[in-house]
Structure 1
Amino acid sequence: MNLRKTLLAASIAALPVMASIPAYAANQLMAAPVNQLSPQENAGLVAKLSAQHAKAGLNADHSFVIAAHHPGVTGTKISRAQHTFKGLRVFGSETVVVTNNAGDIVSESVADRRAGLASGAGNTVDGAAGARFDVTPSISGSAAIDLVVKAVAPRAIHFSAPVAELLVWPVMKSVRVAGAVNKSEAALNALDLEEVVDHYELAYLVQTRMISGTKPIYFDTVVSAKNGSVLAQWKALKTVVGVGNSQYNGQVPISTTLSGSSYMMKDPNRGVGGTFGAMAITNANHGTSAGSVYANASNTWGDGQQYISGGSTTNANGQTAAVNAMWGLMNTYDMLKNVLGWSSLDGNNTATYIAAHVNTAYDNAYYDDNCKCMFIGDGSSFNSLGSIDVIGHEMGHGVTAATSNLNYAAESGGLNESSSDISGEAVEAYARAGGTGTTIPNSGNDWMMGKEISKTGQPLRWMFKPSKDGSSPNAWSSTIKNLDVHYSSGPNNRMFYFLSQGSNSTSSSDYYSSYLNKAPLAMTGIGTDKAYRIWFKALSTKFTSTTNYADARNKVLQSAEELYGVGSAEATAVKRAYAAINVGLDVDETATGGAVVITTQPANVTVAPGASASFAVGAGGGTAPYSYKWYRNGALISGATSASYGFTAQAADSGAVFKASVTDASSPAVTVTSGNATLTVSSNTSSELVTNGGFEAGATGWSGTTGAIGTFAGQSAFEGSKYAWLGGNGTTSTETLSQSVTIPASATAATLSFALHIDTAETGSTAYDTLKVTVKNAAGTVLGTLATYSNTTPASGYQSRTFSLLAYKGQTVQISFGMTEDASLQTSFVVDKVSLVTQ
């Protein structure tokens, strides 16, 4: 069994030889700022990525453009490569590449939306067999810009020059996975749907940043390059609505620079370069441009009071908004740097700035990607928009823009907003505790976004129960992608609250989720510090621009497993927190630490005479490893010393009572005893022939490549915690798992079932990697092949498979799962809950 490759996305492109992934400590800091790659280094990375084109069913028309770099953990660098076709970017199709200091690829996270282009399937736009996708536009980029300007704001002026990028626009659609085809709409879970390409359009992405009066009007619009029709459009303005005397924090120290006889509100200690050469606060003075850096004759700033409308923006009252901004900016920088090692917004220590007093009585604050800066209004319905969580929120947009660059529409837009809300709460907690230290405190913030700026006391958003605002949902649904991003952020905000603080089991509580139905009903939180580290790792190393809720859940889980371990309390908390918002199913919490306890009680069993009766027990806490003893009717069973016990039952065994004791390895050892389980032997009922079909007892009952059984990073169980992961190696390999069963001659039905999940880095219609499910005799001769699965049939979740084995009644046969994988590009066949029930 080869070391499992960690899966980073629903679609992974792994090179035949990958560099080893460095050990990752939960508190390991990000590396120092990185230099951009040289043209030669860029070309070398593109060549490595392109080497897999033939295997992926792509051709010379496909390539990559390295779009950005930022630091990874110490010893690594992260690059983001956009997929291109005939030199045009394929929107939302990209690869996140982690490389080590030698330039070797450590891992890749891929959002692949290019497979239908020139793959031999014909032109997916007009359906002409054998045609190639046409990249010649019928209208110009300037014409596309004119169309957008006339539709959006014909009398507005451009704040920055409009841009029209010719690209390939994949038109996406949601389809149900096989196991969810017959579910009602209300019963759908986020993992029941997957996004697939319906067809492609040649289009312009038109970015307009305009000002109408004093109102910023920022839009991204996708315009057909063939006929000028609008294919998609979304708002691009990343808003929050969607010793200085500060208004919200009392007297605070702020970092300034003495220039001649004046003090400038420029921080010489945080960030370099940028527009003003350092972190700075400027005075927009009711305009829409940055204005000039604040200056003052003394180094005492502000009066701590709400700005008086119409008053001076430079006197003590006008300076207070600048104090608010600088204090928030300093704490945002320090939280990222001291806790994570991340320098400024982009990780490369590039200075940013905040412009105060933007517009007149402006009830908003926003982040602008063009200047990588923030604008704060004085408020009218609100107080000044410069509270600590609002600053942290808007600066969080800068971090997202520098890393995953989550598209600001549909589900990815909601995650973008949520990431900023999470950042705002983390900065608030850090600042309230003094703004020092290497961890984020688990107190100090109120889990309500923008409460301080509200004149009514009503916050903009409630993290713990989003629906309190009357518009945000508490959980995912298939229609969430249609909401404004400030509302579709709600479920992920709630997820983060539950992950860090836990939930409540009382149905009337604001902290209750009906989707949490495992034990205990009130899930346990892991604290803000751990929760934020997990989120940041997923955001910076795994998310792509089109990550949705289902993809986020998988990547956040993987981040937790990499930081804290597979099966850790932190990984379990991620599963439960996402389950609480209808993304994935709930799981039981595994007891850790404290005294040893029984976590899974033996269940009553009913079988037919001659069938196998199997009992299992689970334990947690205490000190591993555990030792086991089984008892029948109170008498010790000799040789029964594993977590499961099974035997061939006869009629005389009916009514027997079984229990287990579990002893840990502490000194002195502690022993706990399970509840009783009763065996019923009846010829009139169904019976289970497979021993340990859920693999919870490890290799018990199974032969072959038993190292495939367990819990591994990158995959999850259909139920319980263990499964069999066949494949996933990315190298030439053959693996098998088999179990011998005897099907009674008197059987009237014999139904084999199992849950199977397939994911792959392969593309195209060629079956490179296969899994065969066969029935063999005792000598290993194949009596029948039930099914053959391959890399051509991946699915985002488990699918249940069922077959009749009645043709083999009266025989002892082997149920066999046989996997064959070729030399490169992994395919994983994950099997769980194997069952053979006879009647």
Structure 2
Amino acid sequence: MKIRKTLIATAIALIAAQASATSTMSGPVSFSAQEKARLISTLNGERGKFGLDTDHGYAIASQHPGAAGQAISRMSHTYKGVRIFESESVIVTDKGGNIVGESFTDRRAGLSAKRFSVKPTLTGSDAIAKAKKTVAAGTDIDPPSAELIIFPVMKTVRVAGAENKAEADLNAMDVKDVVDHHELAYLVKTRMSKGQEAVFHNTIVSAKDGSVLDQWSMLQSVVGTGHSQYNGDVPIQTTLVGTTYKMLDSTRGVGGQFGGMAITDANHASTSNPTPGVIYVNSTNVWGDGQNYNGGSDTNANGQTAAVNALWGLMNTYDTMNNVIGWKSLDGNNTATYIAVHVGTAYDNAFYTDSCKCMYIGDGSSFYSLGSIDVIGHEMGHGVTAATSNLTYRGESGGLNESSSDINGESVEAYARNGGTGSVINAGNDWVMGKEISKTGTPLRWLYKPSKDGKSPDAWSTSLKRLDPHYSSGPNNRMFYFLAMGSSSTTTSDYYSKYLVQAPKNMTGIGIDKAYRIWFKANTTKLTSGSTYADARNAVVAAAQELYGVGSVEAKAAMRAYAAINVGADVAE
């Protein structure tokens, strides 16, 4: 991924460095057809800079409000009108529609020279049938889809100077992914269930012969005044309709399925049919009993407790992003979402699904009810990533996707633990994921020392891309901890990194507030769907420089935090 900045953007970065760190994004913005056409025309006019002919183009994937009146546009690269998978640009424009910054992942090389054909032999229906044969038979939750794409087949090569390094000595910046060749293919999305298990997959099927070129799981999950289960008595925003109270928060978010942020009772609907059910109602505005669900009524005080957990978590997730960053709801455009509780029977999972841009929470069997604050912040974090960088849920980008949600979960927990108000996040989280829902007290993940789970690595290596995203997220989680809290120089400490070789060997953290702002900016304005750990390092350093200045303490800390996980060289503080 490359990051380009114009002279205008440089000036903006210098101004931003002098401004308050608590400046927020603007409210929802609309983009006229003329503005969209102008942006595409401007980008098409620059094709010559990249050696592209007129067969190449751009398509708007999504648009969001940005900081200080700016706008963020995510542009897919196309060839003869067909999207090139994971090849895209992130464009930041000012109020006048002028481009002030651009990040891009370019996987278009060689298409023009080869006069690549975009005429498929198979139909989309054929591709869906091929994909379904490779996954567990189940019932469709959502109708399957097949999008014709150009799929870049990538290979990893070493950069100049790293050719003779031993494998174990490689740094993430010593290698890069380049295009080996392109295949015309279908991106097939299947969202099925088998029993109580959700079976979500994306499959790349050749449009020429039906072979499976790639496949990965898309289940972005954690396995695993109300009387809340984990947080004591908490304030929750409800709506009074006549003499009945509803778990509908109309003060956060607009539109959506329920016209506001809502908590619904899935009423143990099977994951083969995870409908949200109906919004919780009560005759009084006191909800829940603070106890783990006992398997009885969903709507009595005990059954309401899961709903209290969910509403408090949803409110704090919204407020963290809105009050600290200025980002409204999951998509930045303030679109309301919902959480459905009591899905399945003793279901040991919680998951976000982009088909409804919502979340489902199980009651647990091996776990307690899965609606803890960090889990809800985590799952809602998937919604932000899906609306912005859309990091592909495989390889290094999958690890970054999962890490982004862990970062969001911990930041939301810290914000909530400190009262859930104000524009600054103060430390108050436990830096582990899912400890509250664990019946043994053992967390699902440790951000400060990922290897404590026995499966996640603490640092980048060439094998990282072969891991499940829940484990390949580990190094980036550790980076965020070091960025926020710093490290230790004691070699036996859980907070020590052998990769920090400059002075001091115990790097100094910048606090969770600044760390969260930097990561959020990188994810929403710079990362693209195919970003690697090396790309993330460049994006986070650039975000820190734009927010706090080139050469700032924060920018150096970003460099050191990534160096601590074997991504880039260490620098002295």
TM-score category by the smaller chain?
Answer: over 0.9
Q: Does 1:144 align with 2:136?
A: no
Q: Distance in 2 between matches of 1:451 and 1:499?
A: 22
Task: Provide the rounded CA distance (Å) in 2 between the counterparts of 1:237 and 1:395.
Answer: 14
* Residue aligning to 1:213: 195
After TM superposition, give the deviation of residue 214 of structure 1 in Å. Answer: 2.4
- Match status 1:198 vs 2:180: yes
- Of 73, 77, 82 in structure 1, the residue corresponding to residue 71 of structure 2 is 77
Q: Hey, what's the Cα distance between the residues in 1 that align with 2:494 and 2:545?
A: 29
Alignment of 1:728-739 (within 5 A): none
For residues 55 and 474 of structure 1, what CA distance do their matches in structure 2 show?
A: 40
Q: Normalization by structure 1: what TM-score?
A: 0.66
Q: 1:32 aligns with which of 23, 27, 35?
A: 27
CA separation in 2, counterparts of 1:223 and 1:133? 17
Letter in 2 for 1:206: V
SS state at 2:75 partner:
strand
Q: Tell me: CA distance 1:517–1:54, structure 2 relative to 1, closer, same or farther (3 Å).
A: closer
Q: Is the 8 A contact 2:24 2:326 kept in 1?
A: yes
Matched, 1:10 2:19: no
**Deviation per residue, 1:785-805 (Å, 9 max, x gap):** xxxxxxxxxxxxxxxxxxxxx
Q: Secondary structure at the match of 1:55?
A: helix
Give SS of 2:334's match. Answer: coil
Aligned to 2:551: 567
- Counterpart of 1:292 in structure 2 is 278
Cα separation, 2, equivalents of 1:195 and 1:232: 16
Deviation at 1:17, TM superposition (A): 8.8
**Distance in 1 (alpha carbons) for counterparts of 2:430 and 2:341:** 25
Structure 2 residue aligned with 1:435: 420
- Residue 10 of structure 1 and its aligned partner are, at CA, apart by 2.4
Whether 1:324 and 2:309 are equivalent positions in the alignment is yes
Contact 1:394 1:420 in 2 (8 A): yes
CA deviation vs aligned residue, 1:292-325 (integer Å, no higher than 9, x gap): 111111111111000013x111111111000000
Are positions 1:160 and 2:151 aligned together? Answer: no
Say which of 458, 464, 469 aligns to 1:485: 469
1:64-103, Cα deviation, whole Å (9 max, x unpaired):
1011100110121010110000110000000101111111
The one-letter code matched in structure 1 to 2:489 is S
Match of 1:109 in 2: 103
SS of the residue aligned with 1:571?
helix
Contact 2:292 2:369 in 1 (8 A): yes
Deviations 1:30-76 (A, max 9, x none): 011111x2332222111100001233211111111011100110121
Is 1:580 aligned to 2:564, yes or no?
Answer: yes
The answer to whether the 8 A contact 2:224-2:367 is kept is no
* 1:637-656 mapped onto 2 (5 Å cutoff): none
Aligned ranges for residues 384-533 of structure 1 at < 5 Å? 384-442=369-427, 444-533=428-517
Structure 1: gaps of 5 or more residues? 1-8, 124-131, 590-839
List structure 1 runs of 4+ shifted beyond 3 angstroms: 14-22
The aligned runs of 1:80-95 (5 Å cut-off) are 80-95=74-89
Q: How many residues were matched structurally?
A: 565
User: 1:21 maps to what in 2?
Assistant: 12
1:558 shift after superposition: 1.0
Q: Equivalent residue for 2:52?
A: 58
Is the CA contact (8 Å cut-off) linking 2:309 and 2:371 kept in structure 1? yes
Aligned-partner Cα distance in 2 for 1:534–1:501: 14
Aligned-pair CA distance for 1:16: 10
Residue aligning to 1:365: 350
Cα deviations across residues 253-281 of structure 1 (Å, max 9, x unaligned)? 11111122221100011110001100000
1:270 partnered with 2:264: no
Q: Give matches, 1:623-772, under 5 Å.
A: none
Distance in 1 (CA, whole Å) between partners of 2:8 and 2:306 is 54
- Matches of 2:181 and 2:8 in 1, distance apart? 33
The reply to whether residue 381 of structure 1 matches residue 366 of structure 2 is yes
- Choose which of 229, 239, 249 in structure 2 pairs with 1:257: 239
TM normalised by structure 2 equals: 0.97
d(CA) in 2 for partners of 1:241, 1:372: 19
1:306 aligns with 2:288: no
* Residues 15/446 of structure 1: CA separation in 2 closer, same or farther (3 Å cut): closer
Greater helix share, structure number:
2
Structure 1 residue 339: Cα displacement: 0.8
Q: 1:558 to 1:19 in 2, by over 3 A?
A: closer
Give the alignment of 1:610-629 within 5 angstroms. Answer: none
Following TM superposition, by how much is the alpha carbon of 1:519 offset from its aligned partner in structure 2, in angstroms?
Answer: 1.1
Write the distance in 2 (CA, Å) between the matches of 1:407 and 1:207. Answer: 13
Equivalent of 1:232 in 207, 211, 214: 214
- 1:452–1:314 Cα change, 3 Å: same
Please state how far the C-alpha of 1:334 moved relative to its aligned partner: 0.7
Asked if structure 1 preserves the Cα contact closer than 8 Å seen for 2:321 and 2:328, the reply is yes
Please say if residues 241 and 486 of structure 1, whose CA atoms lie closer than 8 Å, have aligned partners that are also in contact: no
Looking at structure 2, the residues matched to 11 and 503 of structure 1 have their Cα atoms a distance apart, in angstroms, of 29
SS at 1:173's partner residue?
strand
Cross-structure match for 1:640: none
Q: CA contact under 8 A between 1:19 and 1:105: conserved in structure 2?
A: no
Counterpart-to-counterpart distance in 2, 1:75 and 1:272: 21
Asked if the contact 2:3–2:526 (Cα under 8 Å) also holds between the matched residues in 1, the reply is: no
Residue 180 of structure 1 aligns to a residue whose secondary structure is: coil
CA distance in structure 1 between the partners assigned to 2:294 and 2:442 by the alignment:
22
Secondary structure of residue in 2 paired with 1:538: helix
Q: Distance in 2 between matches of 1:16 and 1:269?
A: 40
Taking structure 1 as reference, are residues 15 and 586 closer, same or farther at Cα in structure 2, changes over 3 Å only?
A: closer
Counterpart CA distance in 2 for 1:139 and 1:16 is 47
For 2:485 and 2:64, locate their aligned partners in 1 and report how far apart those are by CA, in whole Å.
31
Q: Distance in 2 between matches of 1:307 and 1:386?
A: 11
> 1:340-351 maps to which residues of 2 (within 5 A)?
340-351=325-336
How far residue 242 of structure 1 moved from its aligned partner, in angstroms, is 7.3
Task: Return the index of the structure with the highest Cα Rg.
Answer: 1
1:45 to 27, 39, 46: 39
Query: Take 2:6 and 2:513, find their aligned partners in 1: how far apart are those partners?
Result: 34
Superimposed CA distance per residue, residues 473-514 of structure 1 (whole angstroms, 9 cap, x where no aligned partner): 000001100000000000000000011101111111111111
1:151 is displaced (CA, Å) by 2.1
Contact 2:3–2:539, Cα closer than 8 Å, also in 1: no
Residue in 2 that maps onto 1:222: 204
- Identical positions, percent: 65
Structure 1 residue 195 displacement after superposition: 0.8
Counterpart Cα distance in 2 of 1:181 and 1:28:
44
Whole-Å separation in 2 of the counterparts to 1:21 and 1:505: 37
Distance 2:107 2:488 in 1: 40
RCO (CA 8 Å, sep 6+): is it higher in 1 or 2? 2
Cα distance in 2 for residues equivalent to 1:517 and 1:151: 47
- Give the drift of 1:381: 0.6
CA distance in 2, matches of 1:148, 1:475: 34
SS at match of 1:437: coil
Q: Distance in 2 between matches of 1:19 and 1:331?
A: 34
The corresponding residue for 1:805 is none
Structure 1: distance between partners of 2:71 and 2:308: 35
Contact residue 544 and residue 555 of structure 2 kept, 8 A: yes
